[in-house]
């Protein structure tokens, strides 16, 4: 566990001074850095989701203050012109609205990507696999919103997936101005074994699967053909519904053949995956470099 994650976990320990200050609107969230929004900003971080809404105070929320500022500006011609300039700068990608590549990588890691994978994705080594994935992304996915990266262990599948997720973060920038009441996650990164271990008997498991189905972009990492039947059924449901809905999905797997995937996930999922962009990463071991 890195120092940053340790600090965040310590913050969420009930009874600490930091937690009390956050609940009272006297401290910023350690993840999104907002002050006192208490769940109303739609952020995906734990600070915004876990703080009770009933303790919310409009006077403490920086988003409400921003809305009031803009409302006041609309009352004068000068203010309206200034707002137009702000919007124009945002649309043209001015320095004020740009985000750094490092921040995009940080958002991918925050979504669940392992730290080491995110670090390699920041400056990935050149490879034919990465080149194909970049071409798929820059070409608008060519009508295939699902990418399947298939190959042996250590062939940069996860790093390539993380790089694409960062490209999505760079284009989407959801954490810069998240809309209030966002109903679905912009990005989810899930290890397949997280899903394959689900029993689907609890409300929490069902909510997890529904969130994965609805996310704007989903990375399903290390998809295996082994696991409990309930967990494999959950993966089948997630993939089938995302492919049918045309939602952006990146899958990495060590499965050697489509027949093995069909046996584990069902022929209906295997048939849908035939419509995806498939990149074979080979069977070479992890690069020495």
- So where are the chain's domains? 3-60, 62-91, 101-282
State the pLDDT at residue 107.
92
State the pLDDT at residue 65.
65
State the pLDDT at residue 108.
93
State the pLDDT at residue 248.
92
Q: How far apart are CA 163 and CA 169, in angstroms?
A: 10
HSE at residue 63, side-chain half, CA atoms within 13 A, is 22
CA trace torsion 199, 200, 205, 211 (10° rounding): 130
CA trace torsion 173, 245, 236, 146 (10° rounding): -60
CB–CB of 124/254 below 8 Å?
Answer: no
State the pLDDT at residue 230.
76
State the pLDDT at residue 162.
95
Query: 61-80 pLDDT, tens per residue?
Result: 555 667 778 888 888 888 88
> Which residues make beta-bridge pairs with 277?
147
Q: What is the DSSP string of 4-54?
A: HHHHHHHHTSTT-HHHHHHHTTSSB-TTT--BS-TTTT---SHHHHHS-GG
* Tokens matching residue 38: 């208490």
State the pLDDT at residue 91.
63
CB–CB of 198/236 below 8 Å?
Answer: no
Homologous superfamily (CATH) of 101-282 is P-loop containing nucleotide triphosphate hydrolases (3.40.50.300)
State the pLDDT at residue 13.
67
In 3D space, the residue among 241, 260, 251 whose CA is nearest the CA of residue 281 turns out to be 251
Q: Which region holds residue 31: left if phi is over 0, alpha if psi is between -120 and 50, else beta?
A: alpha
Regions of the chain short of the pLDDT cut 70: 1-8, 11-15, 18-19, 22-65, 89-98, 177-183, 196-197, 199-201, 225, 227-228, 255-259, 282-289
State the pLDDT at residue 199.
65
- pTM metric for this prediction: 0.63
State the pLDDT at residue 143.
76
């Amino acid at each position: 566990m890195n120092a940053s994650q340790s600090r965040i976990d310590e913050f969420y320990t009930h009874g600490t001074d930091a937690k009390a200050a956050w609940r009272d609107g006297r401290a910023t969230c350690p993840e999104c850095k907002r002050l006192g929004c208490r769940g109303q900003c739609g952020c995906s971080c734990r600070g915004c989701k876990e703080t009770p809404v009933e303790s919310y105070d409009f006077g403490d929320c920086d988003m409400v203050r921003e809305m009031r500022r803009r409302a006041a500006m609309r009352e004068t011609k000068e203010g309206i012109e200034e707002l137009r300039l702000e919007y124009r700068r945002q649309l043209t990608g001015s320095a004020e609205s740009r985000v750094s590549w490092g921040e995009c990588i940080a958002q991918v890691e925050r979504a669940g990507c392992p730290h080491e994978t995110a670090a390699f994705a920041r400056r990935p080594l050149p490879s034919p696999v990465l080149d194909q994935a970049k071409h798929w992304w820059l070409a608008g996915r060519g009508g295939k919103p699902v990418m399947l990266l298939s190959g042996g262990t250590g062939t940069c599948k996860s790093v390539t997936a993380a790089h694409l997720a960062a490209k999505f973060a760079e284009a989407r920038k959801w954490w810069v101005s998240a809309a209030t009441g966002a109903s679905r996650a912009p990005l989810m990164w899930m290890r397949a074994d997280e899903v394959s271990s689900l029993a689907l008997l609890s409300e929490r498991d069902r909510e997890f699967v529904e969130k994965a189905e609805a996310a704007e972009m989903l990375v399903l990492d290390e998809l295996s053909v082994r696991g409990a039947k309930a967990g494999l059924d959950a993966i089948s449901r997630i993939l089938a519904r995302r492919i049918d809905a045309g939602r952006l999905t990146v899958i990495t797997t060590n499965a050697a053949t489509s027949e093995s995937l069909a046996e584990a996930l069902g022929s209906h999922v295997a048939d849908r995956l035939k419509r995806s962009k498939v990149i074979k990463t080979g069977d070479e071991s992890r690069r020495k470099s």
